[in-house]
Amino acid sequence: MASVKDLFQSADWTKEKHVPVIEILEKDKEKGVRVRVSVGKEIPHPNTTAHHIVWIEVYFQPEGDKYPYHVGRFEFVAHGATVQGPDTSTVYSEPVVEFVFKTQKDGVIFATSYCNIHGLWENSTELKL
C-alpha cells in the first residue's frame, strides 16, 4: 500500500522546474525569518491555463519538536483564462511567495507545490538562527 510520502516527487531544483526553491532572505529571532519560495527559479515553469502551479504550502519543524507547524498556503488562481476561453487574458499569477514567520528555534523549512499536470513536489532546507 502506498503512503502519502510516495505521492511527492523531489529532484535538484536547478535541473527540474517543478521543485519548490526555498530561499532564506533574512533571519532574526526578534524580527522573524523572511523566506521566499518559488517554483521555476532556474528553469521557468509554464504558466498557462492548461499547465500551471496551483499552490505552494510551507511547513516548519522546530528542532526537537515532534510535529511541524503549517506556516502558510499560497494559491495561484489567475492562469490566463477568461469567459472567451483559455489563455485569452493578460493576467497570470506567478508561483512566487515571500513571507515572514517568527521562531526561537533552529529547524527545517519544508515546501510543497502542486502542478496541475505533474502532481506534488517537495523540497526542504535547514534553518540555523
pLDDT tens for the chain, 129 residues: list them: 666 777 777 777 667 788 999 999 999 988 999 999 999 988 889 899 999 999 999 999 999 999 999 999 999 999 999 999 999 999 999 999 999 999 999 999 999 999 999 999 999 999 999
Residue 9 has a pLDDT of 72
Annotation marks residue 52 as catalytic: no
Please state, in angstroms and rounded to a whole number, the distance separating the CA atoms of residues 33 and 31. 7
Active-site residue among 45, 52, 79, 122? Answer: 45
d(CA 77, CA 28): 32
Is 70 catalytic? The answer is no
The pTM score is: 0.90
Q: Just give the CATH number of 4-127.
A: 2.60.40.730
User: Among residues 29, 31, 51, 102, which one is catalytic?
Assistant: 51
The SS3 assignment for 19 reads coil
Active site residue 16: yes
17: annotated active-site residue: yes
pLDDT at 13: 63
